[in-house]
Chain A
Amino acid sequence: MLNKLTLIQALHGLKQKKFSSRQLVQACLDQIDKYDSKIHAFLSINSDALKEADKIDTHLPLGGIPIAVKDNFLTIGLPTTASSKVLDGYMPHYESTVTARLKSAGAIILGKTNMDAWAHGSSTETSDYGSTKNPWNMDYLPGGSSGGSAAAVASDMCIAAIGSETAGSIRQPAAWCGVTGFKPTYGRVSRYGVIAMASSTDSPGPIGKTVQDCALINQIIAGHDSYDATTSSLPISTANIELPKKLKIGLPKEYLEVLQPETKEQVLKAVDQLKSLGHSIEEMSLIHPKYSIGVYTIIQRSEVSSNLARYDGIRYGHGRDKFGQEAKRRIILGTYALSAGYYDQYYNKAQKVRTLIIKDFQKAFSRYDLIIDPVSPGPALKVGASTDEPMFGEMQDILVEPSSIAGLTGISVPCGTIRNLPVGFGLIGPQFSEQLILAAGHQLQQATTWHHEKPTL
């Protein structure tokens, strides 16, 4: 079954002409036909995918590979809605840098995946088009906001996918769906053509079946973009992700405290694996992540209130009356935090605590190469868990908010299951340490088989 291949395996097969890109794309489309009416990972499918596959040059770095893209990336020819009725039917007038680079590298955009509307959430339940289900157990959520992308990869409906993370939106759904999610440093991957959520933390990145797959996609999409003034000119990681040395890794006790007992057990198994690979793991201390909740809530909602002001229903999209509850809540809180009389108490204060968090990490990374960041307090929650919980996302993302606020890079890799629900193991590194993160994650996957486990659909 060609759709079950990893990206690396698929590339080898295509280059050796064991199968055609058309066959690969068809296998994915067949899987979508079979399972997506239940899983609902996709909002739209590229009706030209097979035609594109026939014409593709398989010598290109991603030549002929079908990739699913989160619906907040503008794609000419495919609707882009950010899972919101405000953009129902919107056909973009320009292409995002990420998808433009994927296409130049020969990737086939298979379709657009479901997400929390405007990326406002950690469940995919706030989508105006219905939630995506977790392929491991349809009564459970896939996480979010890149839930559609994570579910599509977990159920082999695509070879790899693209997501975006503002605070956990790549890593958390990857953890809940048992796949690998990689968040590059803020400023590594261009945000041009990505529907903005919190402009100071939004980070596009890959969700894949292995760390190697994510590393390859990162190589294609990352790098300076003249259209995004916040992108870095630093050279990007090469595809070589061999670890250069033994690492000194920090294990923050405040983060372990937040974990549910069974999840902590699984995370510590992964920690043992790292030890057996020769790395030194040392318990250490970071500012308690509970403070990040307030910082992130204020900063994100403030930036959201500004970014969503452009949806006036005049130049594009429908009226503001089409915003869902969650979007309205966030816009209102953000407007309040930025309003006269409250700016200092909320927004300015949050920015100052942000500085504290950044400095805390800088101090930690002067002693440690990487830090363990367990991603999620527990495995996936049941469908409905986020309803009427205004702080659901922020509470679920408590462990990933600090690293997002500080613009760091991080990864989530599968580390086992609890009652058939996946658990993710995370590592974070200083800004622009993608090479190290990917190398460490890859080494862990070469020594373990957790990432080979798949849901029974």
Chain B
Amino acid sequence: MDVKYIAKLANLHLTSTEETKFQKQFIDTLQTVDLINKLDTSHIQPTSQITGLVNIMREDTIDTSRILPPPAHNKGYFKVPAIFNAQ
């Protein structure tokens, strides 16, 4: 596994110490995980969720009873840190 590349995909910054440490740990983890390849799953469908529920819908209505209203002066918006330099 190219830890550096995967970390970039996951938007995580790793120090070079962490990279080396993780690289070794992942080899061990993947070895334990590889055990599942011993089981025969030809003709088996994958299960992604176990409830068996399909296409659960609800009315497209807004319910604000469980949320904190944002302060009135925010005019319904949530305030977040600026991600570009202002001005």
Contacts and interface: CB of A to CB of B under 8 A. Distances in A.
Answer whether A and B are interacting partners.
yes
Contacts of B58: 226, 229
Contacts of B29: 297, 333, 390-391
A440 interface: no
A229 B66 contact: no
Contacts of B56: 229-230
A67 B29 CA distance: 38
A283 to B, nearest CB: 23
A422 interface: no
A298 interface: yes
B35 A390 contact: no
Given A320-B13, A390-B25, A352 B68 contact: no
Contacts, number: 135
B35 A293 contact: yes
Interface in A308-355: 309, 312-316, 320-321, 323, 325, 328-329, 331-333, 335-336, 339, 345-346, 348-355
A230 B51 contact: yes
B10 interface: yes
A329 B22 contact: yes
B68 A314 contact: no
A140 interface: no
Contacts of B44: 352, 355-356
B51 to A, nearest CB: 5
Given A229-B56, A355-B45, A356-B44, A314 B6 contact: no
A331 B66 CA distance: 30
B32 A294 contact: yes
Contact of B36 (A295, A323, A336): A295
Contacts of B14: 328
A365 interface: no
A332 B11 CA distance: 10
Given A76-B68, A406-B50, A352 B22 contact: no
Contacts of B35: 290-291, 293-294
A127 interface: no
A186 interface: yes
Interface string A251-292: 000000000000000000000000000000000000000110
Nearest to A338: B9
A94 interface: yes
A187 B46 contact: no
A230 B49 contact: yes
B41 A391 contact: no
Contacts of A295: 36
Contacts of B13: 320-321
Nearest to A342: B1
A218 B80 CA distance: 37
B66 A353 contact: no
Contacts of A93: 67-68, 70, 78
A60 interface: no
Interface string B19-39: 000100110110011111111
Nearest to B13: A321
Contacts of A146: none
Contacts of A345: 37
Interface in A394-427: 394, 406-407
Given A229-B53, A352-B41, A356-B39, A332 B46 contact: no
A408 B50 CA distance: 9
Contacts of B50: 186-187, 200, 358, 406-407, 431
B67 A353 contact: no
B51 A332 contact: no
B81 interface: yes
Nearest to A345: B37
Nearest to A327: B12
By CB atoms of chain B within 10 A, which of A312, A316, A335, A350 has the most? A335
B10 A305 contact: yes
B67 A94 contact: yes
B80 A298 contact: no
A229 B50 CA distance: 13
B82 to A, nearest CB: 10
By CB atoms of chain B within 10 A, which of A100, A328, A339, A353 has the most? A353
A95 interface: yes
B51 A100 contact: no
Interface of B: 1, 3, 6-7, 9-14, 18, 22, 25-26, 28-29, 32-39, 41, 44-51, 53, 56, 58, 66-68, 70, 78, 80-81, 83
The 10 A-B pairs at the shortest CB distance, nearest first, are namely A351-B46, A407-B50, A352-B41, A294-B36, A229-B56, A294-B33, A94-B67, A335-B10, A390-B25, A187-B51
7 contacts: A95-B66, A309-B10, A328-B12, A335-B9, A348-B46, A352-B44, A354-B46
